[in-house]
Structure 1
């Protein structure tokens, strides 16, 4: 067996996150978005010989349409990587991007690669949740009393309602959590805390003059996430009606936003770091994925976090920064309360309720957030964790070096 070696993150970046359908990336193809992000990550390591990159692993939750075929390989070619660099698209729904990081790190850790790229991309503007033509085998629902137990047939929101009921998370608490997510995100933007992790992206806005039939194109650079609302209030959130259950508590305001975005990290072995004089940003420490009942898929991190900590030989008190993907306020609060996480360490710059959740890209995006936050704040350990549709949880741990 080959000796295990460490995998270091030497570059980490992401796009701003745009609102789906009406946002600034609504007309930008996801393969173009991913290719642009790969180029941005490579620009952070000018000394690296691209020919040493073994593979590009990219997560995508709904790999069809404009982000179908093998979007990882397509984007690698479009980014100008050497033809010898491979590409594979992986899917663990919302944890696809984080799983891409884990897979890339593991190739290095077992000695099969010296340099890898991990990434994630999702355009919910071009490919809706569930895909354009969802098709479920009838056998998939055998031995279930309720088809929404799988959380994909009738919507994730029903699973959040079940978590809210079972874990006794009130509507008031959900709205307060959502409000704080927006306020933390707005404060972080004003402080410039996202600057190091975000690569500005140029977008083109097109308009048509009906009288002359002429199309005008205006280009602009976007450098901040689009979803945070500085003017929201708890009172405004409280007025929103439930969208998944008539007498429920889960609303559009205390749920994550559908979004577009991409993220990319470059990982290298210690020998590659020395050979190319690279600056390691963080070390990949551990990863865990665990299954949970699908009808309460939001509690996935309750099982995945302890496992990732156990593999790392750490305790949750050792975590200085935790990026807990806010699929819903209900499941976020259930996880925080059940595990006894310190709320001050969870999503200090806001989460998906304010910043957005481009499904398969989120894991890579939040990994970039953790890597840069640890360095900016001179902290040691950070974690990315999330629930996953159909009943899974995932967690990855990083250490600043």
Structure 2
């Protein structure tokens, strides 16, 4: 099974360019953009697998199916929506590829959407039940068995375990913005998307809205810890991913059939994995996920030309780097979620689209995408670019 194309909307800031755009509209726009890039007829898509975390309100009732219908695709094209938290869209791509590998379908789409402005995080937990307070919506029996902690606390514990200082985290965050800003104009995976500017005037967004051209280091250093008391934590809003809105989609196909239909695949899958990990050090799952993916692909970290590791927090990337000691020039070369944002259910497909474009731009062959997931999980994918 191969990837024919992958696209994403530019990611917008919370209350930014997409504030007046529904999430199903964003996803429908992305699905149509995907097919326009390839020329594949919608009727040939045999399933659409969509990732979305907060499945409530405008993102409820199987938003994948709603987007397919809204896009004007034939009613015969089915869709399903899943939630593997931050790894949702990456898992959607995996499930699409697995359906192709099993011979169940010939063309499938793995995609995702999250509109964190219109459907705030935790809406699925709090709808009709007041405000979210810690883990008060979870089963007390679960909490008695597993000492779950907030993801920010987990990011703090990663920093402590791997000896990461506040200055290291902030420096990494600044570099993410620098790389993302320098990459403008190179990111052909971006699908120009209608929105509005700060004055409410119609615009077409062609870049990630959260990327900063310059970073005020003094202002970043003055930010207080996001969860812990002042002076007792290192994780801040400045060195964590931005709350964002966006959508992304990946077209997967049977290689023989796709080539017979005249398509030129961009990449093939070498490994697709998901792992469970420690539920307190929950964000460290990227380490065993990477190890397993490399083993299954028969590769070493030095063989990887482009790494996309989701910047949920700077401490996740730097802890992972402590373990694998990669060439950091190959890790998030065009910046990451600290700069461009993290629309939860869409990021997995969005990073795949960015990685494929990055490999094509640099002439690289192997790409690794890995994402930490709440409650102690991680997804990882290794692809080989086809020349």
Matches within 5 A, 1:147-226: 149-151=147-149, 155-189=150-184, 192-194=185-187, 196-204=188-196, 218-226=201-209
Question: Unpaired runs of 5+ in structure 1?
Answer: 1-6, 208-216
- How far apart are the structure 2 equivalents of 1:69 and 1:360? 15
**Aligned structure 1 segments of 4 or more residues deviating by more than 4 angstroms:** 204-207
- Check whether the contact 2:18–2:196 (CA below 8 A) recurs between aligned residues: no
Equivalent residue for 1:376? 361
Compute the TM-score of the two structures, normalised by the length of structure 2.
Answer: 0.93
Task: Tell me if structure 2 keeps the 8 A contact 1:115–1:272.
Answer: no
Aligned residues: 374
Asked if 1:70 corresponds to 2:70, the answer is no
2:38 match: secondary structure: coil
Cα deviation code 1:129-157 (max 9, x no counterpart):
2225433222221134xxxx423xxx321
Structure 2: unaligned runs, 5 residues or longer: 127-136
Query: Which residue of the partner structure matches residue 210 of structure 1?
Result: none
When normalised by structure 1's length, the TM-score is 0.90
How is 1:342-381 mapped onto 2 (pairs within 5 angstroms)? 342-381=327-366
* Secondary structure of 1:9 counterpart: strand
Select the residue among 254, 273, 295 that pairs with 2:258: 273
Q: CA deviation at 1:239?
A: 1.6
CA RMSD of aligned residues (A): 1.5
Aligned to 1:240: 223
CA contact (8 A) 2:53 2:344 kept: yes
Q: Deviations for 1:335-380, whole angstroms, at most 9, x for unmatched residues? A: 1111222211100010100110011100000000111111121110
The counterpart of 1:17, out of the listed 11, 19, 26, is 11
Please give the secondary structure, in 1, of the residue aligned with 2:183: helix
- Out of 71, 78, 89, which is 1:86 matched to? 78
Change (3 A) 1:205 1:344: closer
